[in-house]
Amino acid sequence: MSITILGIESSCDDTSAAIIQDGYLLSNVIANQNVHKAYGGVVPELASRAHQQNIIPVVDMAIKQAGINKNEINAVAFTRGPGLLGSLLVGTSFSKSFALALNIPLVEVNHLQAHMLVHFIKEKNAERLIPEFPFICLLVSGGHTQLVKINNYLEMEIIGQTIDDAAGEAFDKCAKVIGLPYPGGPLIDKNAQEGNKYAFTFSKPRIKEFDYSFSGLKTSFLYFIRDNHKVNPNFINENMNDLCASIQNTIVDILMDKLIAVSKKTGIKNIAIAGGVSANSGLRNAILDEAKTNQWTTFIPEFKFTTDNAAMIAITGYYKYLNNDFASQDIAPLARFKY
């Protein structure tokens, strides 16, 4: 008998539902929220309201696109956290009612674990290399930056992490300084393709062992722009592409230094990246270059699996389902949620 999981993701500003059957992705529907663009960042209250509007049509579409009947679903896997509480509440409440109505179990999923399990999603028409355990994953998103040793589907150890801002935050905040709209990460990436990454240099932080720090870089970028703007009011416009390429290069270098060090220390050469910032072309190229030098086997997610999506929630739910790891109906979402 097949195992069919409905995944629900609502931790930030994307409402998503996906169907995974026996590890194969049948559908993955995502509704983005444009309402935040005007505010330069996600407004939690608006995000929560948009999730409420989106969740039913998104789930309905995911079930239709998968070509299944809702009675075939064996369990509902949902993001319990970490994330914005008001956003998480919508996905959690919906999942509980759906599971209750169909009399099927609930599976709670940690959003960060889910990002790292995208490498196990199978698709009928796409051959994909699946990582062997253990592997190292550099998880880089808007809220988190972690180096993780993955021993098994649900057994993960954090080896290092940011002590302040996340890498995605660094991209977004630097983008804001040079007038790019939120989220600025993808725009920095786009402009960087036309720029010289060695045009400007920014100092890298000295942080112990495998931890990261990005708040100093953001501040020094801000001061650098402010000082140059005083001398030349057109400084940003005249140097936009070089600024983007240089700040991207610095962030990627900081990420790569520790990743290389962790691989050397552990001897693990199976290297994966995950999370929103894993879409960054500078980071993807740096991983591929390093793979040649260090004989790494690399796992780089397809773009559609880098940012928030429910396919990753459903695949994590699938492995938890196989482990009989179920949640009760009185479960509550958690804004902070360690795995």
- Cβ 126 to ligand KG4, closest distance in Å? 21
> Which one, 108 or 308, has the nearer CB to Zn ion?
308
Q: Which stretch binds Zn ion (CB under 5 A): 82-90, 120-128, 195-203, 306-314?
A: 306-314
Residue nearest to ligand KG4 (CB): 276
- Cβ 3 to ligand KG4, closest distance in Å? 26
The rounded radius of gyration (Å) of the Cα atoms in the chain is 20
Q: What one-letter code names the amino acid at 224?
A: F
> Which one, 25 or 312, has the nearer CB to ligand KG4?
312
> Which one, 181 or 233, has the nearer CB to ligand KG4?
181
- Cβ 31 to Zn ion, closest distance in Å? 15
> Which one, 7 or 143, has the nearer CB to ligand KG4?
143
- Cβ 280 to ligand KG4, closest distance in Å? 3
Binder of residue 279, out of ligand KG4, Zn ion, none (CB less than 5 to 8 A by kind): ligand KG4
> In whole angstroms, what is the distance from residue 159 CA to residue 147 CA?
5
Question: Angle 109-113-116 (CA atoms, 0-180°, nearest 5)?
Answer: 135
- Within 8 A by CB and 6+ apart from 60, the residues are none
Which residue from 107, 209, 84 is spatially nearest to 154, judged by alpha carbons?
A: 107
Task: Please report, to the nearest 10 degrees, the dihedral formed by the alpha carbons of residues 195, 272, 58, 315 taken in order.
Answer: 170
Question: Angle 273-152-5 (CA atoms, 0-180°, nearest 5)?
Answer: 85
> Which one, 248 or 306, has the nearer CB to Zn ion?
306
User: Strands 14-21, 4-9: parallel, antiparallel or unpaired by DSSP?
Assistant: antiparallel
Contact by Cβ (8 Å): 185, 171? yes
Q: Sign (positive/negative) of CA torsion 238, 245, 213, 84?
A: positive
> Which one, 214 or 321, has the nearer CB to ligand KG4?
214
Q: Which residues bind ligand KG4 (CB under 6 A)?
A: 12, 141-143, 168, 171-172, 183, 185-186, 189, 275-277, 279-280, 307-308
For the record, the structure tokens of 267 come out as 């001897």
Phi and psi at 31, nearest 5°, equal: -110, 120
Instruction: Tell me, residue by residue from 2 to 41, as one string, x for binding to Zn ion by CB under 5 A and - for no binding.
Output: ----------------------------------------
Q: Say how many C-beta atoms besides its own lie within 10 A of residue 131's C-beta.
A: 19
Cα within 13 Å of Cα(280), Cβ side: 39
Binder of residue 277, out of ligand KG4, Zn ion, none (CB less than 5 to 8 A by kind): ligand KG4
- Cβ 264 to ligand KG4, closest distance in Å? 26
For the record, the structure tokens of 193 come out as 């393709």
- Cβ 125 to ligand KG4, closest distance in Å? 25
- Cβ 306 to ligand KG4, closest distance in Å? 7
Interface with Zn ion in residues 257-296 (CB under 5 A): none
If one asks whether residue 172 binds Zn ion (CB under 5 A), the answer comes out as no
Which residue from 300, 334, 278 is spatially nearest to 131, judged by alpha carbons?
A: 300
- Cβ 269 to ligand KG4, closest distance in Å? 25
DSSP code at position 132: P
Among residues 9, 308, 316, 317, which is the contact residue for Zn ion, using CB under 5 A?
308
Q: Which helix (H) or strand (E) holds 75?
A: strand 75-81
> Which one, 263 or 309, has the nearer CB to ligand KG4?
309
Omega within 30 of 0 (cis) for the link into 183: yes
> Which one, 141 or 250, has the nearer CB to Zn ion?
141
DSSP code at position 126: B
Binder of residue 185, out of Zn ion, ligand KG4, none (CB less than 5 to 8 A by kind): ligand KG4
If one asks whether residue 141 binds Zn ion (CB under 5 A), the answer comes out as yes
Site for Zn ion, rule CB under 5 A: 141, 308
